[in-house]
Each structure stands twice: as C-alpha cells, then as structure tokens.
Chain A
Amino acid sequence: MPLDTSAYSLALLRVDGRRWNELRRIHAQIRTQAAADGSSYLEMGHTKVMCVVNGPSEPGPRRGATSGGGSGGGQSKNAEVAVNIVIAGFSSVDRKRRGRGDKHILELQSTISQALAASLHTHLFPHSTINISLHVLSQDGSLLAALINAATLACVDAGIPMTDYVAACTAGSTSTYAANDEGADPLLDMNHQEEQELPGLTVATLGDSDRVAVLVCESRVQVSRLEGMLAVGVDGCKQVREILDRVVREKGIKMIQEGTVERGVGLNDMELD
C-alpha cells in the first residue's frame, strides 16, 4: 500500500496524524522479570520489545559460543556484552521466520552490543559477560531504536554502571530521494509505513549530548538532507532520554516509598554543606 506523501504538504499531518516533530507514545516499564538481573518492556507506538539482562557474570566452564562480539572474550580485562535478539514470527504482517544466522539480526546484535559497550563501564567487570536478550513482540518501524532503548533500560535496572543512557530514535524526510525537493521536512520517529516509503535513519546518542553512538541509514537520500534529519534525530533522542529517565526515577521513588530502599542523601541536602 503506497503511502500518499502528497497529503503531508496540505495539512502537515502524517499518516497517523502526528506532526513532523512528534514522537509516538512511548510506554516503558522496568523490572518486569523477577528472575533476571535486569529487565524492561518498551513500546514505541506499536513496536513492542522486551529485554532481559543477565550478568555481569562469569561464564562457567562450558564457555558457550557468544554472538555479537562486544569487546573482548572471557579472559579479557573488560566484560563482554553479548546480545541475542529473537524476532517473534507473529511480530509483523508477513510471518517470516528468520533463522539464527540471519545477517540482518547479526548486524543488529553487533550494533547494540558495541553501542552499549561504549557506555557501560565494562572495565569494572573483568572476565565476565553481560548477556542481553531482546525479544521483539511487535514491529511497526523504528525497530533498532526500540531495541537500543529497551536494552539501555534493562541495563540501568540491572545496576550496571554506565556513562549515560544510550537513547535512540529514528528520523526521516518527506518526499523520496528521487524528488530533489528542497522544501522537504524532516520527520521524527518513523512508523513502518513511513520507513517503507521515505528515506530515514536511526540515531542513538549518549545522554543529552550531541554525541552520536549509532547512526544507521539504509535508504538513498540526498546528502543535503542528512543534516536536517540528524538534527531532528538527535533532538528526538534527547526527548526519549527524558522519558526513559522518568521511568527509572518513578520506579526508584516507588521503591523508596515501599521501603525497599532507604532514602539516601538528597542532592539538595548535600549542597547545603
């Protein structure tokens, strides 16, 4: 079903009624799995992802084959970040079964592993492995971004020290590459339909800086559009970071209220000294 992009210029509304700079609804939870060290569930629109983190822990004598590289192996000075992605058969319209050796999945795994390895303080955990297991329950665009966000949340939940959140989102551009349309607007957070028709990229930034950890563009686009898309993407990442941060804070405050965690020294109390 081709996307009628001509409609955008009339009302400045996208297929799902959003404006150019609007994210879809992001809903996230942490600590969803009691058995895991860290876990999260994240929805970006209709893209739904679950993440479970186990570790850092030292693999036993049977050192299983780990996918997704990261940094170093079992004996190295840094923890290895091993990522495993399972895309459920029912997650998209065509029930395509992806094998384990699917190169696209391997690439996603490697990307997430390397992106998180750069933020996580892996040097604190020599000889160990951080196992990140991601399950895609439903796909509606921005898959890589959702996976990165879910993995970040789960790592925060697991209490693994990190420099900052790695937050990701997608950005696109109205009108396809063929039309060299100078008036093309950048779009934030693309859904599946938009991803099919329009050029776009996935950006992940570290915290609220402008530093880009992941930049993946898989469609043809004029080089002049890159800047606009990147700027919108980076700004989107900052919004996503705030949302993720809010989820973590609320969980933490709830834990304090329940008495699971004692209250610490508040920042404000401290600065009075």
Chain B
Amino acid sequence: MPREAEPSANEKAFLLKALQDEQIRLDGREFDQYRPLELTFGDEYGVANVSLGKTKILAKASAEVTVPFADRPLDGIFTIATELSPMAAPHFEVNRPTETEVLLSRLLEKTVRRSGALDTESLCLVAGQKCWSVRVDVHVLSHDGNLTDAACFAVVAALRHFRKPDTSMENGVLTVYTPAEREPVPLGWLHSPFCVTWSFFGDEGETALLDADWMEEQVRVASVTISLNRHGEICQIAKLGGVPVEAVALLQCTSVALTKVKEFSTYLDGKLAEDAKRRDKGGFMAELRAENDRIVG
C-alpha cells in the first residue's frame, strides 16, 4: 500500500510554531475562517459539486423503486455511499475501505440519515411492497483536508436539489411518471444538518482551527466534528479519541459552529433559489408543461 508521505519534523515544527506563537496559519486564514466554499449544480437534478479550497467533492443523488425492508414496511430506503479512490490521494485504494473512509461514511450517516433530515416515510409508495430507494454517492475528487464538512455539505445540497419522479396511486395501480409527463417532485425534507470540524493543536489541544487543510490535518492532535442545523439542534458530535481537550473549549467550539452552520444554510438556500430561477428561465420545463396542458385540455 503506498503510504502517504508524512510531513517532516521540520515542516511540522514550522507549522506549529507559526500557529501557536505567531497565531498565523500557513495560508493566512483566520483560525475560524473557512476556505472559499463553492457549490455548483449539474444539469441533472441531484448533482452537487462542492469545492472547499482544493478539496473537491461530487455528490449525486438518485432514486429507484424497490421493495422496502421487511422490518420497516412503512419506510423508504436511504443510503449514502462514499468512495475514496486513488483519484483523491494516492494512498487510497479501490475496494479496500480505509479508516478515513469508514469514519467519513459513519459521520455522514449519523449527520444526515440518523438525524432524520430526509423524511423516509414519505418515500413509501405501497406499504410493505413498494418504496423509493434514495441513494447518494459521494465521490471525493480531490483531497486537501476537511473531507467531512465538504462531503456533508455536498450530500445535503444534492438531496435538496434532487427531484424524484412523481407517482400516483389509483385503484391499487402505481404509476411512475417520466419527467416529460409530470414535473418531478422534491424529497420530503425536514431539516438541513451541516458538519463543522475543529482541529486541535498543541500538547493540550489549546489551539483550535476550523477547516484544517491536509497538512494541518496531518499535524493535528485531535479533532471534533459537530453537526448542527440552523435551529440550534445538535445532530451528532464526534470527538473520537485524540488528545483530551478542555470541556469548556468544546462548548465554545459548538457555539461558533452554530454561527458557521447558519452561514452554510443561508448560502445553500441562496444557491438553490438561484438554480431554480435559472431552470425556470431556461423555459425547457415551461415548454413541456405547456405541451402537457394541451394534451389534457
């Protein structure tokens, strides 16, 4: 397995000294400043391209009709699949989940799925027989640290952008309409959680940074990922080991995280509205709708 080259002792010392004595990050950001976050949607529904500095993530949502799990007949199926390929960084291998990947997928799972962001009951079509299976594939295109926050943002953006085909039930007959027949409908969405990751440096984890890049991630001694929505509800907190950090510091991190989450939320809402406008103006959908009207009328 090709191992990722670790930064040399001098590099580490330089970074730490700059951080702790001079309060300077190597890329000149403030401690609580994110790298520029950019989100673009694809032409299809449910494709979100997120870049956070040099970290790039593509998330694609898709849906198909399947049979629900026997133990949950009234719920749809919702899965998040993550893929860290050698494309992201040479030390990731295909088909062999690394620890990073397992932790990333668990975090996304806890943040988005277990917090009930997606209303899985609305995915049920015929109780115990037919339901939608919504799947989000997360592809890391480029890895430069802080995969979690970027991936979580991408997943939420993709799901909120996604439209599933409309369906109807008449006399026990289930009809799934193509986009040409009926405008696809958005998913039942309850709240939008976002992850904010703090990285800690120093012997007692006294220096805390937001949005660490890959170099900083390799040097950090601990990290905590806090998932919140803008209503101030914690969906998940994960400080999985590492150097112990003062409890009070963690509380402060949480409150800063909340303001960041509100920023994310506003940014995503803005982008979604922008995209909706663009599609509306494109006229393609409007044209289709006119055609349909003519047939029905």
| Chains A and B touch each other in the complex, with CB atoms below 8 Å apart | yes
Pairwise interchain contact B115-A212, C-beta atoms closer than 8 A: no
A106-B102, A110-B99, A223-B258 known; A117 vs B241 contact (CB < 8 Å): yes
Interface residue A221 (Cβ < 8 Å from any Cβ of B): yes
Interface residue B246 (Cβ < 8 Å from any Cβ of A): yes
- Other-chain residue from A104, A116, A231 in contact with B241 (beta carbon distance below 8 A): A116
The number of chain B residues with a CB under 8 A from chain A is 40
Pairwise interchain contact B236-A211, C-beta atoms closer than 8 A: no
Pairwise interchain contact A212-B102, C-beta atoms closer than 8 A: no
Chain A residues whose CB sits within 8 angstroms of the CB of B97 once the complex forms = 101
Per-residue CB contact flags for chain A residues 172-186 toward chain B (1 = under 8 Å, else 0) read: 000001000000000
Chain B residues whose CB sits within 8 angstroms of the CB of A220 once the complex forms = 115-116, 233-235
- Other-chain residue from A110, A112, A206, A222 in contact with B244 (beta carbon distance below 8 A): A206
- Other-chain residue from A111, A201, A210 in contact with B237 (beta carbon distance below 8 A): A201
Pairwise interchain contact B247-A230, C-beta atoms closer than 8 A: yes
Pairwise interchain contact B244-A209, C-beta atoms closer than 8 A: yes
Chain A residues whose CB sits within 8 angstroms of the CB of B254 once the complex forms = 223, 226
Q: How far is the CA of A45 from the CA of B211 in the complex (A)?
A: 40
Q: Which of A84-104 contact B (CB under 8 A)?
A: 101, 103-104
Q: Is the interface of B mostly helix, strand, loop or mixed?
A: mixed
Interface residue A115 (Cβ < 8 Å from any Cβ of B): yes
Interface residue A247 (Cβ < 8 Å from any Cβ of B): no
Interface residue A271 (Cβ < 8 Å from any Cβ of B): no
Interface residue B38 (Cβ < 8 Å from any Cβ of A): no
Pairwise interchain contact B236-A218, C-beta atoms closer than 8 A: yes
Chain A residues whose CB sits within 8 angstroms of the CB of B224 once the complex forms = 215
Give A7 Cβ to nearest chain B Cβ, in Å: 25
Interface residue B242 (Cβ < 8 Å from any Cβ of A): yes
Give B232 Cβ to nearest chain A Cβ, in Å: 5
Interface residue A126 (Cβ < 8 Å from any Cβ of B): no
Q: How far is the CA of A222 from the CA of B254 in the complex (A)?
A: 11
Chain B residues whose CB sits within 8 angstroms of the CB of A116 once the complex forms = 241
Pairwise interchain contact B204-A104, C-beta atoms closer than 8 A: no
Per-residue CB contact flags for chain A residues 184-222 toward chain B (1 = under 8 Å, else 0) read: 000000000000000001000110011111111111111
Q: How far is the CA of A116 from the CA of B241 in the complex (A)?
A: 7
Chain A residues whose CB sits within 8 angstroms of the CB of B114 once the complex forms = 218-219
Pairwise interchain contact A215-B241, C-beta atoms closer than 8 A: no
Give B257 Cβ to nearest chain A Cβ, in Å: 9
Among B46-54, B103-111, B139-147, the stretch that binds chain A is B103-111
Interface residue A273 (Cβ < 8 Å from any Cβ of B): no
Q: How far is the CA of A231 from the CA of B114 in the complex (A)?
A: 25
A110-B99, A116-B241 known; A104 vs B247 contact (CB < 8 Å): no
Interface residue A118 (Cβ < 8 Å from any Cβ of B): yes
Q: How far is the CA of A117 from the CA of B99 in the complex (A)?
A: 16
Pairwise interchain contact B242-A114, C-beta atoms closer than 8 A: yes
Pairwise interchain contact A103-B102, C-beta atoms closer than 8 A: yes
Pairwise interchain contact B105-A226, C-beta atoms closer than 8 A: no
- Other-chain residue from A107, A111, A214, A217 in contact with B234 (beta carbon distance below 8 A): A217
Pairwise interchain contact A118-B234, C-beta atoms closer than 8 A: no
Chain B residues whose CB sits within 8 angstroms of the CB of A111 once the complex forms = 240-241
Pairwise interchain contact A223-B244, C-beta atoms closer than 8 A: no
- Other-chain residue from B3, B246, B251 in contact with A226 (beta carbon distance below 8 A): B251
Give A249 Cβ to nearest chain B Cβ, in Å: 23
Q: Which 3 A-B pairs have the closest CB atoms?
A: A114-B241, A211-B244, A115-B241
Provide a sorted-by-A list of 26 A–B residue pairs whose CB atoms are within 8 angstroms.
A106-B106, A107-B102, A107-B106, A110-B241, A111-B240, A111-B241, A112-B241, A115-B240, A117-B241, A118-B242, A118-B244, A119-B244, A201-B237, A205-B244, A210-B247, A211-B245, A212-B239, A212-B247, A213-B243, A216-B240, A217-B237, A218-B236, A222-B233, A223-B232, A223-B233, A224-B232
Q: Which residues of A does B touch, CB under 8 Å?
A: 68-69, 73, 101, 103-104, 106-107, 110-119, 177, 201, 205-206, 209-224, 226-227, 230-231, 234
A-B contacts besides A103-B109, A107-B106, A211-B246, 7 pairs, CB < 8 Å? A103-B102, A106-B99, A107-B103, A107-B240, A118-B221, A209-B244, A230-B247
